[in-house]
Amino acid sequence: MNVLIVKLSSLSDVVYAMPAVQDIRSELPGTQVDWVVEPTLAPLVRRCSGVHRVIECDLSRWRETVFSADTRTAWRAFMADLQFDSYDAVIDLQGESKSLQVARMARLNPNGLRYTLTNQADDSGFEPLLRRVADVSIPVELRLPAAQRSRVMCARALVYALPEARSFGLTVRDSVETGKIKSVAQHFFDSGTTKGPSPVVAFLHGSTAVHKLWPEEHWLELGHRLNDLGYTVAFAHGNDQEYHRSESLAGRLSHAVVWPHMALDAMVDALSGCLGVIGVDSGLCHVAAALDLPLVQIYNVDTAWSTGPHHVDHQNFVYAQPTPSVESVWRAWIQASALASLRD
């Protein structure tokens, strides 16, 4: 069987579609799974075990430059890539007009079908008219966590029992130095960029949604507590504003480093070398969850039921309004790191 998954964006949604691929591998051995995704997220999907081909689609940008020669060339290359194989099932996990447009252009085998959502679930996007365009629309429960929603839809489309265990299948790449495996994150510290000791706890403080941010003084207090226990704090950033905030916070801590700007796949490797992660509700925090790291996610909005960690002892979330206290996040971290130590 050949299956095409259409999940173009965003970072969080792409991460939470990965368990569906692992379910297909487990329940339908030998199935080829291809995935259409935006170019910025393609390096991450290439790290997803079981994905045979990653097809890059920059539909939003192409619409803005539709008459340029470069766009016409890129479009032809995309169409050739998309239609290289034919599929028994094309599953639109996005539920938007742009994703169904891609699904409609994919080639089907003689008995192949295109699937999309029947209904809008809580905390998800949905365009009702699309269900009339797909061959089969799949109903999902209204209140399902994001990862579970993708898993349920694929299981119902391809008719297999949903496995009890969940796995993301996100792989990391290690570099070999002095005869031993050494993570990207640790390399930054040994190369003299900081005097801080190991182990490393990453602070993922950035978000494009202002209402998700945690106060800077809270991050500073949390950093001091970790420093006092011998941890080095690593700050990640995705734009200039986050970089300046990282520099400001790191400069007021005794053992801290600001990571350089990294490509998404390099960030996966860097995070994998950390003892754990504390962060706001963001795509990178969901990457940390997929890496099975000790994790605390901070929520100012009551959406943790959808994107927060669930049923994983060493991953916690803290929710409060207007924002969680340092003490509550600290307690959650102590619990997560302690349970991770027992697991190891």
Beta strands, E only, the chain = 2-6, 32-37, 51-56, 86-92, 107-117, 136-138, 175-177, 180-182, 200-204, 232-235, 256-258, 276-280, 295-299, 315-319
**How many other C-beta atoms are found inside a 10 Å radius of the C-beta of residue 5?**
28
Domains with residue ranges and CATH for the chain:
2-158 (3.40.50.2000), 175-343 (3.40.50.2000)
Tens-place pLDDT, residues 48-96: 999 999 999 998 889 888 889 999 999 999 999 999 999 999 999 988 8
Length of the chain: 344
- Using the predicted structure, report yes or no on whether residue 174 has a pLDDT greater than 80: no
Per-residue pLDDT, 27: 97
Q: What angle do CA 286, 291, 293 make, to 5 degrees?
A: 90
340 within 8 A of 276, measured Cβ to Cβ: yes
Tens-place pLDDT, residues 15-32: 999 999 999 999 999 999
294: left (phi over 0), alpha (psi -120 to 50) or beta: beta
pLDDT band (50, 70, 90) for residue 193: very low
User: What CA–CA distance (Å, rounded) separates 341 from 199?
Assistant: 13
- Using the predicted structure, report yes or no on whether residue 344 has a pLDDT greater than 90: no
Which token pair is 324?
């969680």
